[in-house]
């Protein structure tokens, strides 16, 4: 079964790691469906019915995005608010259309991993900071999986550092 990878990057042309991941995924159309939200909705007017229909077709869904301001890009939040509707994603008469689907986050981060933690500058782990996503997907009865994170892009955006992430990301996707 193919994996739906929803890429939410507001500036893919200037991306380094997310663009490289997308290029790699596009080499395997039999394994991954790449869905770029900012490309499909440049006006940010989401076709809710189309998004729901797309999600219904997949058992594994990964949301790929850069992490900044301790959150996701705004179009991802809007997508969650508009697509995960009462009567479709949750509610006693919804049928919980995302129930049982494997859901995961794939996040690129500018700073190094060691900077996230109780005694560090950002005080919390990434898992703690992304807890609202976990709760959201658990609320709609999805099978939320541990996230994939690739750190240090701000400090090390060399071709070697970016390439090192590619097999790690593919291994993560294949293990879902």
pLDDT of 44-70, one tens digit each? 999 999 999 999 999 999 999 999 899
Query: Rounded CA gap, 47 and 37, in Å?
Result: 11
Contact 3, 173 (CB under 8 A): yes
30: pLDDT strictly greater than 90: yes
* Beta-carbon contacts of residue 81 (< 8 Å; ≥ 6 apart): none
Q: Positive or negative, the Cα torsion across 173, 9, 124, 100?
A: negative
Each residue's pLDDT tens digit, 151-160: 999 988 899 9
Q: What's the pLDDT at 1?
A: 83
Angstrom distance (rounded) from CA 119 to CA 134: 24
Interatomic CA distance for residues 12 and 36, integer angstroms: 9
CA distance 29 to 48: 24
pLDDT in tens, 94-121: 889 999 999 999 999 999 999 999 999 9
Q: Are 154 and 17 in contact (CB under 8 A)?
A: no
For residue 155, the model assigns a pLDDT of 87
pLDDT digits (tens, 9 = 90+) for 31-47: 999 999 999 999 999 99
**Coil, strand or helix: which one is 20?**
helix
SS3 47: coil
Reduce the DSSP state of residue 149 to 3 states and report it: strand
| Separation CA 18–CA 11 (nearest Å) | 10
């Amino acid at each position: 079964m193919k994996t739906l990878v929803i890429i939410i990057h507001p500036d893919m042309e200037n991306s380094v790691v997310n663009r490289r991941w997308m290029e790699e995924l596009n080499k395997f159309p039999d394994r991954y469906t790449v869905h770029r939200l900012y490309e499909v909705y440049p006006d940010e007017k989401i076709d809710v019915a189309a998004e729901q229909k797309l999600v219904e077709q997949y058992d594994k869904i990964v949301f790929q995005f850069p992490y900044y301001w301790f959150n996701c890009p705004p179009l991802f939040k809007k997508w969650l608010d508009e697509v995960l509707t009462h009567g479709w994603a949750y509610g006693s008469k919804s049928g919980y259309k995302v129930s049982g689907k494997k859901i995961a986050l794939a996040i690129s981060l500018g700073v190094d991993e060691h900077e996230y933690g109780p005694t560090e500058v950002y005080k919390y782990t990434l898992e703690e900071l992304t807890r609202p996503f976990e709760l959201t997907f658990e609320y709609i009865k999805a099978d939320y999986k541990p996230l994939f994170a690739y750190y240090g892009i701000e400090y090390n955006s060399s071709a070697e550092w970016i390439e090192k992430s590619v097999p790690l990301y593919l291994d993560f996707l294949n293990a879902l």
